[in-house]
Copies of this chain bind each other. A is one copy, B any other.
Amino acid sequence: MSTDTMPPFRERFNGAVAANGSLVCVGLDPDLTMLPVALRSLPTEEALTTFLHGIIAATADLVCCYKPNLAFYLAHGAAGWKVLLGLRAVIPQHIPMLLDAKFGDVGSTAALYARTAFDVVRADAVTVSPYVGSDALSPFFARDDRAAFVLCKTSNPGSGDLQDLPLASGEAVSLRVAARIHEWGVARGNVGAVVGATYPAEMAAIRAVIPDAPILVPGIGAQGGDLEGSVRAGMDRDGAGILISASRSVLYASSGSDFADAARAEVTRLRDAINAARRGS
């Protein structure tokens, strides 16, 4: 599908959620030291490709999104970047791919990052950081068919250092950022937020400010986030509008030759747990 004919991002995302009945977003974050034992002796490019294609083939009917994190490709040098550039062609076309890059640079550089994310990596969406200000984010918001998810309240223990600071106006920095996300997204519906599953109370406060924006929710699994609390606090009025992201718990569910089957079992478990929380059962 060419860029010219692609429907709006939100429509495509909602389509994937509906097709698979799932709010699971699988993070494609390959770590060479944790790959299945049988793949570790292969050349880097072949090891990464075999692993990621296996994970995608085993889970593509269970997810609403795949999320490769840029760091896990750049860290592998030339081979890693090449694997990332080939990823969009392997993921089924109706499943969006979100590049997790936390881009946040100014002026013409921001435009270049938007082109890199959307035209070089061919991602459908990208994560960006709000510190630089709205003029530096606008290139990421400019296209109907793509989306940007802005860091709002991140999942790490130290996220409060800056994000929780109370402003003179009384609100926390993260809530001010949420208010801007709402403004930026009104025109095209293609601006989302990133809110960690480790902070369900903040999730509820942020959802109240951005009733319509999609929310990417990292922090489930290894980081100890609250799955049920986050889903209930984060879902929109249609019981959707969130992408619950899991990486390590899915990718490394088994280090044996059954890694793809084990990943499928873990995504199925997660999908069902999320759907139970959506229904309130």
A104 at the interface (CB under 8 A from B): yes
- Do B106 and A155 touch across chains, with their CB atoms under 8 A apart? yes
Closest to A164 in B: B133
Return chain B residues, CB-CB under 8 Å to A82. 78
* Other-chain residue from B109, B113, B120, B165 in contact with A176 (beta carbon distance below 8 A): B165
A137 to B55, alpha carbons, bound, how many Å? 31
**A134 to B103 alpha-carbon distance, docked (Å):** 18
The answer to whether residues A116 and B160 also contact, given A133-B154, A151-B131, A167-B166 and a CB cut-off of 8 A, is no
| Cα–Cα distance between A218 and B108 once the two chains are bound (Å) | 13
- Complex CA distance for A100 and B134, rounded to whole angstroms: 20
Question: Is A188 part of the binding interface, using a Cβ–Cβ cutoff of 8 Å?
Answer: no
Q: Is A156 a contact partner of B129 (Cβ separation < 8 A)? A: no
B173, A156: Cβ atoms closer than 8 Å: no
* Residues of chain B contacted by A1 (CB below 8 angstroms): none
Which chain B residue shows the least CB distance to A71?
Answer: B112
Contact across chains for B154 and A165 when beta carbons are under 8 A apart: no
Cβ-closest chain B residue relative to A156: B106
Q: Mark A92-114, 1 if CB is under 8 A from B, else 0.
A: 00000000101111110100110
Nearest CB on B from A223, distance (A): 7
Query: How far, in angstroms, from A218 to B132 measured CA to CA in the complex?
Result: 13
**Quick check: B154 and A162 within 8 Å, CB to CB?**
no
Q: Which residue of B lies closest to A180 (CB)?
A: B161
Q: For A156, what are the chain B residues with a Cβ–Cβ distance below 8 Å?
A: 106-107, 132-133, 135-136
Q: Kindly report how many copies of this chain are found in the complex they form together.
A: 2
Q: Is the CB of A85 within 8 A of B75?
A: no
A163 within 8 A of B: yes
Q: B75, B154, B157: which contacts A115 (Cβ < 8 A)?
A: B75
The CB with the most chain B CB atoms within 10 A, among A102, A131, A173, A180, is that of A131
Q: Which of A109-147 contact B (CB under 8 A)?
A: 109, 112-113, 115-116, 120, 129-136
List B contacts of A163 (CB < 8 A).
131, 133
A158 close to chain B: CB less than 8 A: yes
* B-chain residues with CB within 8 Å of residue A133 when the two chains form the complex: 154, 156-163
Question: Please, could you name 17 A-B residue pairs with CB atoms under 8 Å apart, sorted by A?
Answer: A29-B109, A71-B113, A75-B115, A77-B120, A78-B78, A78-B81, A102-B105, A102-B129, A104-B104, A104-B129, A106-B156, A107-B223, A129-B129, A131-B154, A133-B158, A135-B158, A165-B167
Which residues of A are interface residues toward B (Cβ below 8 A)? 29, 69, 71-72, 74-78, 81-82, 85, 100, 102-107, 109, 112-113, 115-116, 120, 129-136, 151, 154-163, 165-168, 170, 173, 176-177, 180, 218, 223
